[in-house]
Structure 1
Amino acid sequence: MEEFDYVIIGAGSAGCVLAHRLTETGNHSVCVIEAGPPDRNPFIHIPAGYVKNVMNKDLTWGFVSQPVPGIGGRSVGLPQGKTLGGSSAINGMVYNRGQRADYDGWAQRGNPGWSYDDVLPAFRRSEKRGGAADQDYRGTDGPLTVTDPAFDNPLCRMFVEAAREMGIPEVEDYNAAAQEGVGGFQFTIDLSGRRSVRMSTARAFLHPAERTGRVSVRTHAYAARILFEGKRAIGLRYHAGGPHGTPSEVRARREVILSAGALNSPRLLQISGIGDPRHLRGLGVDPVAALPGVGANLTDHYQVRAAVRLKDIRTVNERGRGLALVSEVAKWALGSRDTILGMGPVPMRVFMRSDPALDAPDLQLSFTPASYREGVAGLLDRYPGMTCGGYMQRPESRGWVRAVSTDLAVQPEIQPNYLATERDRMAIVQVLKYARQLLGAKSFAPYYVREEFPGDKVSTDDEILDFARQFGGTAFHHCGTARMGPASDPMAVVDERLRVHGLEGLRVVDASIMPAIISGNTNAPTIMIAEKAAEMIRADNAA
Structure 2
Amino acid sequence: MEAAEFDYIVVGAGSAGCVVANRLSADPSVRVCLVEAGGSDNSLRVKVPAGILSLYGNPNYDYCFVGVPQPELNNRRIPVNRGKALGGSSSINSMVYIRGAAEDYDEWARLGCAGWAYRDVLPVFRKLERNLLGQDPRYHGSDGELLVDSPRDPNELSSMFVKAGKNAGLPANADFNAESQFGLGIYNVTQDRGQRFSSFSAFMRPVLHRRNLTLLSECEVIDLAVAQGRATGLRVQHDGQQKTLSASREIVLSAGAINSPKILMASGIGPAAELRQIGIAPLLDLPGVGKNLQDHVDGMITVRSRSTRTLGLSIANLPRMAAAPFQYFARRKGMLTTNYVEAGGFAKTRHANGLPDIQFHFVPGYRSHRGRLIEYGHGYAIHTCVLRPKSVGEIKLSRDGSRRDVLIDHRFFTHEDDAMVLVEGIKIARRIFASPEFDAVRGKEMLPGKDVRGDDEILAYLRAEALTVYHPVGTCKMGTDDMAVVDPATLKVRGVDGLRVADASVMPKLIGGNTNAPSMMIGQKVSEMILGSGRSGGK
TM range (shorter): over 0.9
Partner of 2:164: 162
Looking at structure 1, the residues matched to 496 and 522 of structure 2 have their Cα atoms a distance apart, in angstroms, of 20
Please name the residue that 1:492 is paired with. 484
Q: CA deviation at 1:412?
A: 0.8
Match of 2:468 among 474, 494, 509: 474
Cα displacement (A) at 1:228:
1.1
Q: Which residue of 2 is the match for residue 425 of structure 1?
A: 419
Q: Which of 517, 525, 531 lines up with 1:538 in the alignment? A: 531
Q: Distance in 1 between matches of 2:241 and 2:437?
A: 61
Shift of 1:512: 0.5
Aligned to 1:264: 259
Cα distance in 2 between the residues matched to 1:323 and 1:247: 52
Shift of 1:314: 1.3
1:386 maps to what in 2? 380
Structure 2 gaps of 5+ residues are none
Cα shift at 1:318: 4.7
Distance in 1, matches of 2:400 and 2:502, equals: 22
Secondary structure, counterpart of 2:17 in structure 1: helix
Q: 1:89 to 1:377 in 2, by over 3 A?
A: farther
Task: Give the alignment of 1:285-364 within 5 angstroms.
Answer: 285-312=280-307, 314-318=309-313, 322-337=318-333, 339-355=334-350, 358-364=353-359
Matches within 5 A, 1:32-431: 32-191=34-193, 196-241=194-239, 245-312=240-307, 314-318=309-313, 322-337=318-333, 339-355=334-350, 358-374=353-369, 376=371, 378-382=373-377, 384-405=378-399, 410-431=404-425
- CA shift in 2, pair 1:94/1:327, >3 Å: same
Note the residue ranges of structure 1 that are not aligned, 5 or more in a row: none
1:356–1:394 distance in 2 versus 1, CA, 3 Å: closer
Aligned-partner Cα distance in 2 for 1:19–1:65: 30
- The separation in 2 between residues aligned to 1:515 and 1:29, in whole angstroms, is 31
Match of 2:457 in 1: 463
Mapped to 2, the partners of 1:139 and 1:377 lie a distance apart of 39
TM-score normalised by L of structure 1: 0.95
The more displaced of 466-475 and 153-162 is 153-162
1:515 to 508, 517, 527: 508
Aligned residue for 2:172, secondary structure, equals coil
| Counterparts of 2:352 and 2:463, CA distance in 1 | 27
Is contact 2:340–2:364 with CA below 8 Å preserved after alignment? no
Residues 1:284 and 1:353: Cα distance change in structure 2 (over 3 Å): same
Change (3 A) 1:277 1:118: same
Report the alpha carbon displacement of residue 188 of structure 1 after superposing the two structures with TM: 0.6
1:319, 1:340 within 8 Å by CA — same for their partners in 2?
no
Q: 1:405 to 1:250 in 2, by over 3 A?
A: farther
> Identity rate of aligned residues, in percent?
37
Structure 1: distance between partners of 2:149 and 2:23: 23
Deviation at 1:24, TM superposition (A): 1.8
Return the alpha-carbon distance in structure 1 between the equivalents of residues 520 and 363 of structure 2: 26
Instruction: For residue 335 of structure 1, report the CA deviation from its aligned partner.
Output: 2.1
Deviation per CA, 1:307-333: give whole Å up to 9, x if none: 223345511115897453231112111
Deviation at 1:373, TM superposition (A): 1.8
TM-score by length of 2: 0.95
Change (3 A) 1:319 1:331: farther
Q: Output the aligned Cα RMSD.
A: 1.8
What do residues 261-285 of structure 1 show as CA deviations (whole Å, max 9, x unaligned)? 1111111100101111111222332
Cα distance in 2 for partners of 1:309, 1:199 equals 32
| Deviates further, 301-310 or 281-290 | 281-290
Give the one of 5, 8, 21 matched to 1:6: 8
TM-superposed CA distance for 1:76, in Å, is 1.0
The answer to whether the 8 A contact 1:259-1:509 is kept is: yes
Q: In structure 1, how many angstroms separate the alpha carbons of the residues matched to 2:127 and 2:483?
A: 31
Q: After TM superposition, give the deviation of residue 408 of structure 1 in Å.
A: 5.0
Mean CA deviation greater in 126-135 or 489-498: 126-135
Cα deviation, residue 378, structure 1: 2.9
Code of the aligned partner of 2:277: G
CA distance in 2, matches of 1:539, 1:15: 18
Equivalent pair of 1:301/1:393 in contact (CA under 8 Å):
yes
Partner of 2:442: 448
Equivalent position amino acid for 2:373 in 1: G
Check the 8 A contact 2:348/2:357 in 1, yes or no: yes
Report the number of matched residues. Answer: 532
Q: Deviations over 1:179-214 (max 9, x none)?
A: 1111111111111xxxx2100111111112212222
